[in-house]
A = this chain, B = another copy of it.
Amino acid sequence: MAAQKSAQPAPSSTRRSEKSRRAIYGAALALVGEVGYPRTTIEGIAARAGVGKQTIYRWWSSKADVLLEAFLDLSEQASRDAGPEYEFAIPDTGDLAADLKAVLRLTVDQLKDPRFEIPSRALAAEGVVNEQLGRVFVTKLLEPSLMLYVDRVRAAQEAGQVRPEVDPRIALELWVSPLAQRWLQHTGPISYEYTDTLVDYALYGIAPRTR
């Protein structure tokens, strides 16, 4: 379960200090939350963690890389805390619209949780400009969540609630992307009413229903 290995680091060794690793994660997340991403420095993280700078440079390639792993660790920890065998998934009550609305409401709450907001904003921003990091961010954090929607949409297709020729991977973007963009770029407010509306539009379209 543990041991994320990044691309380049891998100097070698099992002598690595677990205590330092955790202290670095904690310091990085704390600093980003307190002073923001741009003013979070490697030197600051090292000092706060009570660690030599070399210990950071030995195992990570950049500030963004440290924060990415710290955030991945936080996410894993959070999902472990949510229950030992609780696997997050989208409910299937048979009513696709209701299920999607329920999950999106949870997402809205999570997007507003300050514990997640600043680090994920920082990572998303870095990913926009740094394609390599962006791909890791998307692959490890975003894509797994999106696949849950793919599964749920496929189930709905089998239940005849979604047209069979619809591509689930594109369909999910009809509600995920608008929410993501409003959050990321501050292009509009985020509310339960908003996400409910998105689901309705996505399912039934904006054209008149009786053609």
How far, in whole Å, are A128 and B180 apart by their CA atoms in the complex?
11
Is A74 in contact with chain B by the CB < 8 A criterion? no
Q: Does A58 contact B (CB under 8 A)?
A: no
Nearest B residue (CB) for A124? B128
Instruction: Give min CB distance, A77 to chain B, whole Å.
Output: 24
Main SS of chain A's interface residues? Answer: helix
- Chain A: interface residue total (CB-CB under 8 A): 55
- Report B-chain residues with C-beta under 8 Å of the C-beta of A176: 181
Measured CA separation A134–B186 after assembly (Å): 7
Report the Cα distance A197→B104, complex, angstroms.
23
Instruction: Let me know if A72 is at the binding interface, CB within 8 A.
Output: no
Interface segment out of the listed A9-17, A82-90, A108-116, A160-168: A160-168
Is B208 in contact with A161, judged by CB distance below 8 angstroms? yes
Q: How far is the CA of A124 from the CA of B187 in the complex (A)?
A: 12
For the complex, is A198 an interface residue (Cβ under 8 Å from B)? Answer: yes
- List A29-49 residues whose CB lies under 8 Å from chain B: 36-38
The 6 closest A-B pairs by CB, nearest first: A205-B205, A173-B178, A125-B128, A177-B177, A177-B178, A204-B205
Other A-B pairs beyond A146-B187, A162-B206, A204-B207, 5, CB < 8 Å: A142-B187, A153-B206, A169-B188, A170-B197, A171-B206
